[in-house]
A and B are shown apart, each in its own frame.
Chain A
Amino acid sequence: MSHTATTSHETGGKNPGAHPIVGHLVPTWLLVFVGTALLMLTAITVAVRYIDIGEFNIVVALGVALVKAILVCLFFMHLRWDRSFNTLVFIVSVVLVLLMMAFLIMDTRQYYDSQFDGNAPNVESTLQANAPGAPVARFKPYSP
């Protein structure tokens, strides 16, 4: 991980015209290739939208998006040649989002069924809906 290793082909500014002294030089053909691949993947994912494959629609759409994202990260954002710590930082942030998402979906799925629209049972009979400060009764009580 020392910088002599990561910059082995970048010869310390001795040849500044041809090579940057820092960073990685990505060949043009590779960038254009990745760009084309991204456009094609977009076309594919749009096309799949018009086919009904049920549950798999979202799987395909997100799968394609994931591939596109990885391409952008690796090549446009140079992660392929960059320090692995930068990749780690990025992955940790994504993992945290996924963690929060998982916990919240787990939680909300459980309590939505116990949530009901309007007042708790018996509140309506004990409270006059028109009393000042009283909660307002909803039109449709929750029915499972």
Chain B
Amino acid sequence: MTTLQSQPNHAADAHGTDGAHDGAHGSAEHAKYPFLQHHFDTPYHQFDSAKLGMWLFLATEVLFFGGLFVAYAVLRNRFPEVFSYSSHYLDTIMGGINTCVLILSSLTMALAVRFAQTNRRTGLIICLILTFMGAVGFMVIKYFEYSHKIHDNLVWGTTFYVPPHDAIGEAETKELSVAPTTSITLNPVNPAVFAVPTLAPIPAVDASAIKQASRAPVGLATPTQMAHAEGLPTGEHDPSFAHPATHLVDKKMPANSHLFFAIYYAMTGLHGVHVLAGMVVIGWLLKRAIRGDFSSDYFTPVDVGGLYWHIVDLIWIFLFPLFYLIH
């Protein structure tokens, strides 16, 4: 650090760095722009800070989803056959339509920003409504996709093992001695302590009646193993019972296919939560737009909310090929 120059050149300093605020603007700006917060000098200063803040937030979103993308990559790398087989259970057309819906809603969002910038309130309101409807449409299509999968018992984790009642005979269902699909039950690990609602099956027998060996070290025993330790028939000598993880309706399905659906639900589910959050944001923008808060001077919330909505779109742009377009 060199010693100081005699008199710091304020203007040069402020402009030499990335927009550190320029003290030259004063209270005149604040009187002119009521939305300007006291610690910002100009509307541009405030807008610029908000944008940087939002981009940092978007970076956290990328890393947040990034964890799931990494999990996806690791699992896919380990079980390539699972991914290429199971992805055929996803409906490419539905996924494609959803992609288009999101892209269109992104477009209307970008247009909304433009309308706000040019003081066109009606256009802004219409675009926000269209964006909102895009979000709703996406969720509706997603709902149909999900419910279809759940109906086919293409769900996550241990629940995956359970055949739907109509697919196999009554006797076989009983033989597998697991609870019916998608019942909200206690966590089988420890039903006594904290009631965690779970979609996992519990053995038909009382959990405490299972021999220690079948549960400990806990987590290493699959339901089949539990049944095995119980002396219940597990079907392991049945040639069609390829692996405990096989989906019983489709006997060709490779082992561990449930992992594909686990990561599918994790990623699309988290994305869905973001769409819901986006709907709240757009709704709030809509309310303010109708109130007439935005103008060419002040449209930061529209711009920043738009950035959020675009990142939701961006993530879907990658989810779509990764799940639906695997050959």
Contacts and interface: CB of A to CB of B under 8 A. Distances in A.
Direct contact between A and B judged by beta carbons closer than 8 A: yes
Interface of A: 1-4, 7, 13, 16-23, 25-26, 28, 31-32, 34-35, 38-39, 42-43, 45-46, 48-49, 52, 54, 57-58, 61-62, 64-65, 68-69, 72-73, 75-78, 82-83, 85-86, 89-90, 92-94, 96-97, 100-101, 104-105, 108-109, 112, 129-136, 138-139
Interface in B228-274: 228-229, 236, 244
B63 A22 contact: no
Interface in B269-303: 295-297, 299-300, 303
A100 B51 CA distance: 27
Given A26-B110, A136-B228, A139-B236, 5 more contacts: A58-B321, A61-B325, A85-B18, A93-B58, A136-B214
B104 interface: yes
22 contacts: A3-B48, A4-B15, A23-B299, A32-B107, A39-B103, A39-B104, A42-B320, A45-B325, A46-B92, A49-B324, A52-B327, A62-B322, A65-B317, A77-B307, A77-B311, A83-B48, A86-B51, A89-B52, A93-B59, A96-B66, A104-B74, A109-B77
Given A45-B321, A69-B314, A90 B107 contact: no
Contact of B78 (A16, A57, A112, A133): A112
Contacts of A86: 51-52, 55
Contact of B44 (A3, A18, A38): A3
Interface string B23-55: 000000000000000000001110110011001
* Listed residue (B99, B103, B244, B297) with the most chain A CB atoms within 10 angstroms of its CB: B103
A108 B119 contact: no
Given A2-B19, A19-B296, A72-B310, A90 B77 contact: no
A13 B55 contact: no
Secondary structure class of chain A's binding surface, majority of residues:
helix
A101 B63 CA distance: 11
B86 interface: no
Contacts of B220: 135-136
Nearest to A48: B325
B69 interface: yes
B59 A92 contact: yes
Interface string B189-232: 00000000000000000000001111011001100110011000
Contacts of A90: 55, 58-59, 62
A75 to B, nearest CB: 7
A94 B311 CA distance: 13
Contacts of B60: 93
